[in-house]
Amino acid sequence: MKVTVNRRITFNAAHRLNNPAWDEETNKRIFGLCNNPNYHGHNYVLIVKVTGDIDRETGYVIDLKILKDIVDQSVTDRFDHRNLNLDVTEFKNLNPTAENIAVVVWNILREKLDSKFDLSIVLYETERNFVEFSGK
Ligand code: NI
């Protein structure tokens, strides 16, 4: 009997989408406003989904307090009010698109969570645009 426990967090961060292998015109054409040289911000919404069996003794899949602390320390504290391109090492050579942010967050949290859990990440970049990554 698998149940999915969700933790929703928000963080504000700046980024710039740019492919250094392309010229300026191509970057502008492909990334539009997101290529703005002086960066721009998003109010990201991150949903961390942890799926597992209900523990017989606690009745929990995972204690949400523990999940909260893991997400706060390893994601929110590192991403919130940062410039993703400049401040977060994972994006030094990786375009900080919603897709890549979701994969980076998944990899960070996968290491912190017991392997008995399935993990999926949903990341909203805007109210209407969001991506999901489940490790495959
Ligand atoms: Ni953007």
Catalytic annotation present for 127: no
Annotation says 24 is catalytic = no
Residue-range domain boundaries for the chain: 2-133
Q: What is the pLDDT of residues 101-122, one digit of tens each?
A: 999 999 999 999 999 999 999 9
Give the pLDDT score at 107.
98
Complete edge-to-edge strand list for the sheet that includes strand 130-133: 82-83, 2-15, 40-53, 118-124, 130-133
Residue 95 has pLDDT above 90, yes or no: yes
User: 45-60 pLDDT, tens per residue?
Assistant: 999 999 999 999 999 9
> Model confidence at 64, in pLDDT bands (50, 70, 90)?
very high
Q: Could you confirm whether 34 is annotated as catalytic?
A: yes
pLDDT of the residue at 1: 87
Q: Which of 42, 57, 111, 125 is catalytic?
A: 125
Q: Annotate 71-107 with b (16+ C-beta within 10 A) or e (fewer).
A: beeebeebbeebebbeebebbeeebbbbebbbbbbbe
Q: Which CATH number among 3.30.479.10, 3.40.718.10, 3.40.1260.10, 1.10.340.30 corresponds to the domain 2-133?
A: 3.30.479.10
Catalytic residue among 81, 99, 127, 132: 81
- pLDDT for the residue 65: 97
Average pLDDT value for residue range 64-91: 97
